[in-house]
Amino acid sequence: MSPITLGILAASGAATVGSYELISTTTLSSTAASVTFTGLGTAAAAYKHLQLRVTSMPVATGATIWVQFNGDTASNYNHHYLYGQGSTVYSGNGATANGTLIGGVAGFGNTIFMAGVMDILDFQSTSKFKTTRTLAGSSTEIDLSSGLWRSTSAITSMTIYWTGTSIAAGSRFSLYGLRG
């Protein structure tokens, strides 16, 4: 059968209000210890859920990448993960102060940008703990993880960081709001 080639429908989208909207984005021009999205109580007030899209690399090898909420650095987080590195599938869990896990369970290298997409559900709810689900990986590791922030506070800020090292220049962090 002959292959089928089809063209693009739209070269660019019209700037209209929709259900999936960009709140904020940043691409680092130099290394940074962390990236924080603030003011979500106002900037993200119209949304039900958030999605964080990340391409990043640690300065030092072997790091994992995490998200903390509202500046909470106490042990109020849980996570579970499933990951593969090309030979075996591993599973594990933790309850740490690090935050909710984006990826790098066995440690990402510092020569390849990893990618991660994290959904933060019901982030404004004041009656629920906050749950996250993430698919992340590079060409050396694939991670599925779920996370929990044991707080009923609405999320007003998010801090993303690599354990024990800085974020490399060129890393990109984009936050989206989903209406519900």
Partner 1 sequence: MALTDAMVALYSTTLAAATSSVTIAGIPTTGYRDLRLVVSFNSSTVGNTTVGVRVNGDTAANYYNVYMLGNGSTTASGSENNTFLYGSYIGAGSTGSPYISTMDIMDYSVTDKHKSMLARNNDSSQVVTAYAGRWANTAAITSLTCVNFAGNYTVGSTFALYGIKA
Residue 25 tokens read as: 């984005």
Q: If DSSP codes are grouped into helix, strand and coil, which group holds residue 84? A: strand
Residue 161 tokens read as: 């960081």
Query: Judged by CB under 8 A, how many residues of this single chain contact partner 1?
Result: 56
Name the residue among 44, 52, 70 with its Cα closest to residue 179.
44
- Which DSSP helix (H) or strand (E) runs through 43? helix 40-43
Interface with partner 1, residue 10, by CB under 8 A: yes
Cα distances from 166 to residues 12, 39, 105, 115, in angstroms, run: 35, 23, 17, 17
φ/ψ (deg, to 5) at 54: -135, 135
d(CA 171, CA 125): 30
User: Minimum distance from CB of 108 to partner 1 (Å)?
Assistant: 11
Interface residue with partner 1, options 28, 117, 148, 154 (CB under 8 A): 117
Nearer of residues 113 and 129 to partner 1, judged by Cβ: 113
Interface residue with partner 1, options 66, 83, 123, 161 (CB under 8 A): 83
Interface residue with partner 1, options 72, 107, 113, 129 (CB under 8 A): 113
Interface with partner 1, residue 74, by CB under 8 A: no
Interface with partner 1, residue 29, by CB under 8 A: no
φ/ψ (deg, to 5) at 6: -130, 155
Interface residue with partner 1, options 36, 85, 157, 163 (CB under 8 A): 85
* End-to-end CA gap in the chain: 43
Interface residue with partner 1, options 33, 95, 97, 112 (CB under 8 A): 112
Interface residue with partner 1, options 62, 84, 107, 109 (CB under 8 A): 84
Strand 142-149 versus strand 130-137 pairing type: antiparallel
Interface with partner 1, residue 8, by CB under 8 A: yes
Interface residue with partner 1, options 120, 136, 155, 167 (CB under 8 A): 136
Residues forming contacts to partner 1 in the complex (CB under 8 A) are: 1-18, 20-25, 42-44, 53, 55, 82-89, 112-117, 135-142, 144, 170, 172, 174, 176
